[in-house]
């Protein structure tokens, strides 16, 4: 893993997509990491992910976050990837699928952050799944 932020991570951080709220969101996921380390501010890291669903397809995704460079870059990329996917497709995603897209440009001390994986997203979607 990287020791410093990679170029793709910094590009996503400096030009994040899908920041904001969806007022009539079908799914709202909230995550908090109260134990951000001293070398990993801000503490606590707070996330709210808004999803708009049409049937079993995610039509829109936005986020609000108080977090570090890695969290903002990850959520920007994640919201782009969720749009147009079915819930079943999202549930099949590997835990760290975005790390490859970000060219593993997230420092090792950031990888334990719960916001940087899709486990919470999958749990929320399982409770919302439409057959």
28: enclosing H helix or E strand? strand 27-33
- 83 CA to centre of own chain: 13
Residue 110's pLDDT is what? Answer: 75
Residue 39's pLDDT is what? Answer: 56
The CATH number assigned to the domain with range 7-128 reads: 3.90.1010.10
Give the phi and the psi of residue 46 in degrees, each rounded to 5: -125, 140
Using a pLDDT cut of 90, give the percent of the chain over it: 31
* Domain locations in the chain as residue ranges: 7-128
- The 3-state DSSP class for residue 79 equals helix
pLDDT digits (tens, 9 = 90+) for 14-51: 999 999 999 999 999 888 766 665 555 556 678 889 99
Task: Enter the pTM of the model.
Answer: 0.82
Mean pLDDT of 97-113: 75
Q: Which single residue is written with the structure tokens 């049409």?
A: 54
**Of all residues in the chain, what percent are helix, strand and coil, respectively (each to 5)?**
35, 25, 40
At residue 130, does pLDDT exceed 70?
no
């Amino acid at each position: 893993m990287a020791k410093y932020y990679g170029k793709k991570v910094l590009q996503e951080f400096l030009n994040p997509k899908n920041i904001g709220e969806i007022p009539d969101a079908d799914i709202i996921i909230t995550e908090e990491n109260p134990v951000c380390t001293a070398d990993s501010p801000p503490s606590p890291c707070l996330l709210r992910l808004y999803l708009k669903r049409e049937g079993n397809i995610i039509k829109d995704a936005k986020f609000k976050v108080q977090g570090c460079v890695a969290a903002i870059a990850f959520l920007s990329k994640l919201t782009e990837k969720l749009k147009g996917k079915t819930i079943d497709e999202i549930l099949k995603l590997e835990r760290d699928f975005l790390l490859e897209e970000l060219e593993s440009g997230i420092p090792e001390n950031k990888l334990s952050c719960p916001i940087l994986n899709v486990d919470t997203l999958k749990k929320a979607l399982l409770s919302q799944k439409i057959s």
